[in-house]
Chain A
Amino acid sequence: MNRFLITLFLVSSSFYATAQSEISFGWLPKVNLSKKISNNLKWVSSVEVREQIYQESFQFTHNLMDVSSIFSIKTDVYESFNIGYIIRFREEEVIHRLLQHYNIVQNLDNLKIAHRLGFEQFFQNKVSPQYRTRYRATFEKPLNGEKVDVKEWYVKISNEYLYQFNEKDLEARISPYLGYQLSKKDKIEFGLDYRLGGVLESQKKNSLWFRTTWYISI
């Protein structure tokens, strides 16, 4: 566990060390609702809002809202293909997004490793379509026992890379979380989501978000 925290600290520090200029932070609350339709199909919907607390100066502003609707097709016990739609409301703008994500989870003795590879297309009035690919690796480890049971805590850390084809921009994200399994049907996670934009540029963009996500299955 100590080794895990030290690695996390070093990785986070290296991001900060390379980062300069633009910094913002805020809160990203999200509710994720999933409903099993058949043995192989699930419908997942979520609402996420972005509340900005700091950008150049302290300010509390409602930044945007994402509403998603995704169909998750189970292709194996621990594999799924997700296709979906996200609508983003940002001030006067409305951005439509289509997504195709493939997930594989390796279930080891007391560690889960998840890989997500995705493609996304963005559509917006008076703006040409934008295309993005992303890969994320996530590690989840129970803090008690070999698997997460009800009323038990776990840690989760994810590292993601996103490449925007139009602007040729690479973004890296690192997110450590603390999760709690509330019941068989829901769990809650608290964590940080650090994003470093313009990785390939000299001018970097930093943002740090406090995340709270409530996963519910009905």
Chain B
Amino acid sequence: MKREYFITVFICFLIQSVAGQYKFEREYRVEQGEVPKQAIEFIESVNFKKKVKWYVEESQDGKTIEAKTTYKGRKHSIEFDTKGAVIDVEIKINFSKLDKELQKNIISILKDRFKKFKIRKVQLQYKGQKEALMNCITAQCSIKPSFEIVLKGKKETTYELFEMLFDSKGEKILKELKFSADNFDNLQF
């Protein structure tokens, strides 16, 4: 009885932690001079042709540093910790460019979760060792990516915005964060 109780509590906790989080994020631009040397070295070794913009991002996961640029026609975002160690690489992609089976899996999960939805943004998210991450940008990638999807979805009567992270097969939700649309009063009145 006691064991069943703990299992129930544990499952409830897991569901809550996946479904109930609210996205908090603040991001601001910084100059390259304010960025840890290790992060600059990583970026310089890729030799991006276009300008790299640096940002500090504060979220529920802590403080990180991000380098953003466009490379080979796709938007890249490389995230570092505050010491300059690379955390992940995110590459923007159109949902329709994903593998058909993967698209099918993701759509099927979203259909179960929402009455209606519309995908707004998809990013491949690579996590791994520094050299492997470097290869994902410049050469052949050996890491299987997760998929970060920003969408508007209707669970009850109104649309809300969500950021969801799917595993490499698109079969499991690893993270779900709800976030509010920015106030746009100043664009209306």
Query: Contact residues of A with B, CB < 8 Å?
Result: 32, 34, 39-40, 44, 46, 70, 72, 74, 76-78, 80, 82, 101, 103, 105, 107, 109, 112, 114, 116, 138, 140, 144-150, 152, 156, 179, 187, 189, 213, 215, 217
Q: Which of B26, B75, B188 gathers most chain A CB within 10 Å?
A: B188
Chain A interface mostly helix, strand, loop or mixed?
strand
Closest Cβ neighbor of A138 among chain B residues: B187
Q: Report the Cα distance A187→B186, complex, angstroms.
A: 9
Query: Contact residues of B with A, CB < 8 Å?
Result: 26-29, 55, 68, 75, 152, 157-161, 181-189
* Interchain CB contact under 8 A, A107 and B182: yes
Q: Report the Cα distance A215→B189, complex, angstroms.
A: 9
* Interchain CB contact under 8 A, A149 and B185: no
* Interchain CB contact under 8 A, B29 and A217: no
- Chain A residues, CB < 8 A from B159: 76-77
What 4 A-B pairs have minimum CB-CB distances, sorted nearest first? A114-B187, A145-B28, A149-B26, A103-B188
Question: Which listed residue, A44, A140, A146, A217, touches B27 by the CB 8 Å rule?
Answer: A146
Question: Which listed residue, B75, B157, B184, B185, touches A32 by the CB 8 Å rule?
Answer: B185
Closest Cβ neighbor of A68 among chain B residues: B189
Question: Which listed residue, B152, B185, B187, touches A77 by the CB 8 Å rule?
Answer: B152
**What are 24 A-B pairs at a CB distance below 8 A?**
A32-B186, A39-B158, A40-B158, A44-B189, A74-B158, A76-B159, A103-B184, A105-B184, A107-B181, A109-B75, A114-B188, A116-B187, A116-B188, A138-B187, A140-B186, A145-B27, A145-B28, A149-B27, A150-B26, A152-B28, A156-B186, A189-B186, A215-B185, A217-B183
